[in-house]
A and B are shown apart, each in its own frame.
Chain A
Amino acid sequence: MVTAKGLPWILRVNDLYVEFWTHDGVARPVNGLTLQVGKGQSVGVVGESGCGKSVTALSVLRILPKAARISGGKIELQLRDGSTRDLTQLSTNSNEMRRIRGGEIAMIFQEPMTAFSPVHTIGNQLCEAILLHTDCDEKEAKERSVESLRSVGIPEPHVRIDEYPFQFSGGMRQRAMIAMALVCNPRILIADEPTTALDVTVQAQVLQLIKQMQSQIGLALYLITHDLGVIAQMVDYVYVMYLGCIVEEGGVDDIFETPLHPYTRDLMRSIPTVSGERKPLSTIGGVVPNAYSIPSGCSFHTRCKDMQGEVCRSERPAPRRFGESHRVSCVLYEDAAR
């Protein structure tokens, strides 16, 4: 099985369901989500706040909060040795899962401070990760830590390595977090809004750095963001997510040039751009339903400008193929699909 781009896959999420059991009832932030990441591929996931982007990523790493459980589906990972594991079957704290986190899949978060402990030096934290995932001794681990900071463009890494996270500026912390994520040569990097807190000039540098690392070590990127500009510039394949499922997917050119799903089209039209005209922005009607009461049928029907009536309320549309690698789940395209 290969991905739409013809690359062999290394991560494949299939019909995933996640539930949260809370005082207010059961929230279902992920509802039958399917996506895959090819070897060395850059994949982007976009969607409004609360649509389940982060919960999906946390599921893959098996670091969901206690109240959550994976209630259906598979998360298959191809390991270095060519064998496949279904991560939903591993226990969160198993040795194998621990090795996978950091060793096979690494993650960077929106707020870099959360990735570091404030009471240990950056160097100690890097060394610890290296010692956990490799056979290095302490001296080698230290050398590798310095090297990893150098590789992400931190000046005087042999000095900075003994500093604490608070001594780094926002952009430097983000770089250090990337160094930390990549220090054990993972094969997939999950980046959840990695640059939202940064100035555009620093954002550009940090994202460029991720791209460089990708081409150097053949890393696959799973990028989560609601910034369509970042998506357009960083990834080659896009998944559009709405209320916990994928409504459209395709090559980045397809998605930006011929968005098909009414939700994707609305999303594209609602963003102001630096070169845009000053006319009223188009908006998506209504409000995002919450994860406690996902609408029936096509979950977007409550806000859709192209609602086709009963069929949208009652039937969940299946993904239809358009050309090489473009797929959309919407009744508008039932007949037109090729």
Chain B
Amino acid sequence: MNTKTADDILRVEDLKKHYAAEQGFFRKANTYVKAVDGVSFGIQRGETFGLVGESGCGKTTVARLVLRAVEPTDGDVWFKPQGKEAVNLVHLRPRELKGVRKDMQMVFQDPFSSLNPRLTVFSIIAEPLMAHKWKANEQRQRVAELLELVGLSSRDMRRYPHAFSGGQRQRICIARALALSPSLVVADEPVSALDVSVQAQTLNLLNELQNTLGLTYLFISHDLSVVRYVCDTIAVMYLGKLVEQTAVDQLFTAPKHPYTSALIASVPAPNPKKKWQTQTVRGEVSAGGNGVQGCDFAPRCPYKVDECIHKVPGIRNLPASGAKHEAACHRAQELSLKGVE
């Protein structure tokens, strides 16, 4: 999946991360957990790119690879800040990496554990500024500005994290991520730990900030309703691989991979009159990775044929659909799957 659009801010090519599995009761030695297994995508400047998939499918690992918080087993990560040359992060030395890093920041899932309880809000938000040797008075001014930007008050600077609610803490995390004016923000389940009402506030804030600051988001979530609401393009991940990728409306109205269609149908609608599909797929995720010959989803897929069991499906372009649309399914072209009504 690597259409080389000139204005891609990030392009990931055939990215892999394999962990040596712990030897245990069931695992033989020399097996690997293929947390990420050949993922490619491009993110356009200014868009929100969503990565969805069930727990353990490798979403966080992709985020960490993109920021080079972990070293990839294989693959490339091209990053192109505004007006600069694209660089392959995989080959950068630590010093060079620091320069690039201020352009890409991360917001984590858990606003409770990602803030150091012993630091004031000022120290938390100013930390990246200190690392880049900002002057004290500039730091203070910038932190005040950031707090206002995320809907808190500059007076909150002197307080400690415990004095804030979950939603407010997530705002502090967002303020810290924005301190050095990054162009790419990687948000890993930024609203999953938040309450419905606070979740709405935070999603609205992320949208506003994108509009005013021209940010690009890599937005990770397992909640389809949330990605539907914030993303422009969506990639669906299953057991370390992307199985489908396209524009948000296209994905929800005309999914081409049976897993995507099952995900969409399984979401219970907040409307008692709407029928709920509870038997969309069989069983559960297989342990995956090692020794599977065909499509990873085949054991659960209601549409599988012989080919699916024997041959790994490559990624197919589905030009018929107008928007760019890719799916890794042998039957992507012939199946007509259901999306949202």
How far is A144 from B274 in the complex, measured between Cα atoms in Å?
37
Which residues, 149 to 174 on A, are CB-close (under 8 Å) to B? 167, 169-172
Q: A327 to chain B: closest CB distance in Å? A: 18
Q: How far is the CA of A40 from the CA of B195 in the complex (A)?
A: 30
A282→B199 CA distance, assembly (Å) = 10
| Per-residue contact bits, chain B 259-283, to A (CB 8 Å; 1 contact, 0 not) | 0001110111111111011111100
In the assembled complex, the Cα of A202 lies from the Cα of B226 at a distance in Å of 19
Q: In the complex the two chains form, is A271's CB within 8 Å of B225's CB?
A: yes
Q: Which of A88-96, A106-114, A121-129, A193-201 is the contact stretch?
A: A193-201
How near does chain B come to A103, taking the closest CB pair, in angstroms? Answer: 29
CB neighbours (8 Å) of B277 from chain A are: 204
- Which one of B26, B207, B269, B279 contacts A205 once the chains associate, using CB atoms below 8 Å? B279
Closest residue of chain A to B167 (Cβ to Cβ) is: A287
Indicate whether B136 reaches chain A with its CB closer than 8 angstroms.
no
B317 contacts chain A at the CB level, 8 A cutoff = no
Say yes or no for B141: interface residue by CB 8 A criterion: no
Interface size range on B against A? 35 or more
Interface residues of B in 178-222 (CB under 8 A from A): 195-197, 199-201, 203-204, 207, 222
A205 to B265, CA, bound (A): 12
In the complex, the answer to whether A278 meets B229 with C-beta atoms within 8 Å is yes
Q: Is the Cβ of A270 less than 8 Å from the Cβ of B270?
A: no
Which chain B residues lie closer than 8 Å to A226 at the CB level?
195-196
User: Is the beta-carbon distance between A232 and B226 smaller than 8 angstroms?
Assistant: no
Across the interface, which residues of A come within 8 angstroms of B276, CB to CB? 204, 233
State which residues 23-62 of B face A: CB under 8 Å.
25-26, 54-55
Asked if B79 is an interface residue, CB under 8 A from chain A, the answer is no
Decide if B200 touches A256 in the complex (CB within 8 Å): no
A-B pairs, top 3 by smallest CB distance, nearest first, are: A199-B54, A229-B268, A281-B200
**With A256-B271, A267-B196 given, can you name 12 additional A-B contacts, CB distance below 8 Å?**
A170-B55, A197-B55, A199-B222, A205-B278, A207-B268, A208-B279, A226-B195, A234-B268, A266-B197, A278-B229, A283-B204, A288-B165
* CB-defined A-B contacts under 8 Å, sample of 20: A48-B196, A48-B197, A49-B195, A171-B284, A199-B54, A199-B55, A201-B266, A204-B278, A207-B278, A229-B268, A267-B196, A270-B196, A272-B228, A272-B229, A274-B269, A275-B340, A281-B200, A283-B200, A284-B197, A287-B167
